[in-house]
A and B are shown apart, each in its own frame.
Chain A
Amino acid sequence: MPNDYLLTIISNIGMISLIALSAYLLLISGEISFGQQAYFGISAYAGAIATTLWGWPLWVALLFGSSLAALAAGFVGLLTLRISGLYFSIATLAFAEMVRLSLFELTYQVEIDGELIGPNGAEGFGEIRWIFDNDVSVLEYTLVIYGVLLLVLFCLVLIERSPLGMIFRMLGQDPLLTRVQGLNPVRYKVTAAILAGFIAGLGGTLYAHSFTYIEPQMFNIMLGVHSLAYGLIGGLGTVLGPLLGVAIDIGFLESLRVIQGYRMIVFGGLVALMLIFMPRGILDENRVYRLKNAVRRWFRA
């Protein structure tokens, strides 16, 4: 039986992978969002409110939180249609900060068993006890997280193999050239934003129920920066890229006790080195294409 520390790291990798995949979807569509933590946070609060205060089952809360996050992402996507590049990044960061600061003002408490429970501004939102109330073990919850992650990966692989995935990658490489192929970039930019918001939202609700306590500060820019860095380290050529990035950071750097305290320095250095020597990550498009061809040839042989 794996110990709880190991399980915590494994489940953390699973949940953070979801926000990393969310940032990845935008990265391949050509946008650098510094604001995916907002959708993670919105869903964390909404999902936790739904199970803890309204008594909803986790899976309904998960869909509710993620849909709310997708709605917010679609709204931001529409507002930012006319901007791109650095301006898009700043706009997404500004929105994420607005969400985080709004959460400091959010107070919505309900008396449950003689105790006031619910979001309480800067003091956060504790007693998110769905796991304990439903006798779900850490191992079982980890399996739930990985079930959701696998489902998301499966859907993303389908999208990547489809014309829609190709359109996202076209937009990421040359929006004008995409337009002169007869495609309206607006529609696909907003679609990518909504999908990315939903995926980040899935991670958010799962995160709130795993940690049983959330506060606005958890959803600050560092989470957004990390989610971007995972794709940039792991690679933008496949959905497995961001997962590799998360595994390197959380599975390796965070677990290595020797470098505790220096983790961020090592991580920052790694990002800088990657940007210089492998700007599109370890599993970049070219490498993934070669790998796929090699595998196809091997199967044929």
Chain B
Amino acid sequence: MLELQAVGKTFGALQALRGVDLHLRRGTVSGLIGPNGSGKTTLVNIITGVYAPDSGRVLLDGKDVSRASANQITRLGVSRTFQNIRIFNRMSVLENVIVALIGHDKLGLFPLLGSVRGVGGAGVEAARRTLETVGLLKQSNLFASELPLPLRRRLEIARALVCDPKVLVLDEPAGGMTPAETASISELIRSRIAPGRTCVVIEHKLDLISRVCEHLCVLNHGEKIAEGDPRSVMSQPEVIEAYLGRA
């Protein structure tokens, strides 16, 4: 499905990633954890084409997409959310989901000049269904900027989900949430989003990771230090040391 081979990335004197290998298996939810500055977001940005790797390769379904731009990667079926929530604040909740359909040319025969609500009627229905999945249907006519933070996170997920991506990348889906909100979003991901889907979840909250992930990869200082079953990975001394420091 998605494979990273010896991916490296440098920003000036900082080596953000050093030869990271990663293999995402089809239909499984993989977690990516690591302390701040370990290279998680850089890795996500490379997977989604925001950055090109300085070395190594990114393969999607066996095809080298290392040099593909972010818009090309999206069209190939990789969708994402952002650590710092990015939504179109000056659009309605429904429109924030429709935008993804526009990007995928899923609005019918007149993709550019037809009416969004007219020609794209089927698209609007798909957007509504996705909003229902993430529990935002009631808010669909609100302005996006009016949503509280937990619902904004759900809106980002809806936008990433609406085109039924091959790979869904969730960057800190519970960032800034209370324990109750985290539990609620974990349940949403586990029961309604993850089943049958290839997902990468980047998160600091280990309770969310342990609830939703079947596979875990740990980064530290731009290097992969552990990988495998979440329970066994989280009990490894290097992982504990990277997260909590040496005793």
Contacts and interface: CB of A to CB of B under 8 A. Distances in A.
Q: Do A and B bind each other?
A: yes
A182 B76 CA distance: 9
Number of chain B interface residues as a range: 35 or more
Contacts of A176: 50, 70, 86
A161 interface: yes
Interface residues of A, number: 26
Interface in B80-113: 80, 82, 86-92, 95, 98-100, 102-104, 107, 111-113
Contacts of A112: none
A166 B86 contact: no
Interface stretch (A5-13, A50-58, A79-87, A285-293): A285-293
Interface stretch (B114-122, B172-180, B186-194, B238-246): B114-122
Nearest to A237: B90
Nearest to A284: B90
Contact of A184 (B71, B98, B113): B71
A163 interface: yes
B103 A159 contact: no
A179 B50 CA distance: 9
Given A158-B113, A180-B70, A173 B75 contact: no
A161 B116 contact: yes
**Dominant secondary structure of chain B at its interface with chain A:** loop
Contacts of B104: 181-182
Nearest to A163: B102
Nearest to A236: B90
B198 interface: no
Interface string A172-186: 011011111111100
A181 B86 contact: no
Contacts of B143: 285-286, 289
Contacts of A169: 88, 90-91
The CB with the most chain A CB atoms within 10 A, among B87, B91, B145, is that of B91
Nearest to A184: B71
Contact of A181 (B74, B111, B145): B74
B36 interface: no
A133 to B, nearest CB: 38
B112 A174 contact: no
B69 interface: yes
Given A180-B70, A181-B100, 6 more contacts: A159-B113, A169-B91, A173-B90, A177-B88, A183-B103, A286-B90
